[in-house]
Amino acid sequence: MKKIIIAIDGYSSCGKSTMAKQLAKRLGYVYIDTGAMYRAVTLFALQNGFIAKDKIDTESLHQALDTCHITFRMNEQGTPETHLNGENVESEIRSLRVSSNVSPIATLPFVRKHLVAQQQLMGREKGIVMDGRDIGTVVFPNAELKIFVTASAEVRAKRRYDELQAKGQNVSFDEILKNVQERDYIDSHREVSPLRKADDAIELDNSHMTLEEQDEWLMQRVSIFF
Ligand code: DC
């Protein structure tokens, strides 16, 4: 199987991860969820008391960052799960507490530098599907295939709401929508690596697409490489 790099960028909760995960499985590629890495650093900062009353103690976080080890391990279903210093944190990093604090953490240049270097190492052998915000622009500007995914904020909030409800987490739709909109704003307005479509990325708006339609769209773009 030919090995290429597939970069999938876009707004939060637009189904990037599900799409990237399935694609990697189908191609026998490695899947890396870079959002999970920013979330794991956020959890690390919360656990160590580096975030208090919405203020980040950046100096302490910077100093401690080398002791924040993020790895992905396959579960029994063959899906990668995020581990922070050996502990499975896959569920905890999706909580509203982490979601509400992750954007400011992701704006910190030293955090981005640290994680981007790890992501580039993970992709050095190619054969990888990586999703995030800056994969096609910063991490792998030479990726063979770049996809930029969008959907309306309301559609995305509804998807996240359903996901959290299914997990028994009781949160209001309005709170989620506000969180999605706030993250969109911070993600696309931050100074370092703001979310933007790479010039050579193909845009996919999946607001009104079924999963089957999206899958067909994707396979048409992927198949030209094989
Ligand atoms: O994809 P996600 O919602 O799990 O991402 C969590 C946060 O991390 C989000 O606020 C954007 C940020 N992020 C980033 O800045 N760069 C990436 N490559 C991936 C995520």
CATH number at residue 111: 3.40.50.300
Q: Is 70 helix (H, G, I), strand (E, B) or coil?
A: strand
* Mutation to probe ligand 1, out of 38, 92, 119, 120 (largest number of atoms < 8 A from CB): 38
CA 14 / ligand 1 centre spacing (Å):
12
- pLDDT band per the 50, 70, 90 thresholds, residue 34: very high
Name every protein residue with a CB atom under 6 angstroms from any ligand 1 atom: 12, 34-35, 38-39, 102-103, 106, 132-134, 183, 187
Number of domains in the chain: 1
CA 211 / ligand 1 centre spacing (Å):
22
CA 4 / ligand 1 centre spacing (Å):
23
- Closest ligand 1 atom to the C-alpha of 119? 18
CA 184 / ligand 1 centre spacing (Å):
10
Average pLDDT of the chain, as a whole number: 94
Which residue range is the domain that position 156 belongs to? 5-225
For residue range 116-168, list pLDDT tens digits in order.
Answer: 999 999 999 999 999 999 999 999 999 999 999 999 999 999 998 998 899 89
E strand intervals along the chain: 5-10, 30-33, 51-52, 55-56, 70-74, 80-84, 87-88, 128-132, 145-150, 202-205
pLDDT at 12: 84
The first and second tokens of residue 187, run together, are 């993600």
pLDDT at 183: 85
* Mutation to probe ligand 1, out of 8, 12, 90 (largest number of atoms < 8 A from CB): 12
Give Cα 11 to chain centroid, integer Å.
9
For residue range 55-82, list pLDDT tens digits in order.
Answer: 999 999 999 999 999 999 999 988 899 9
- DSSP state for residue 201 in the 8-state scheme: P
pLDDT at 92: 97
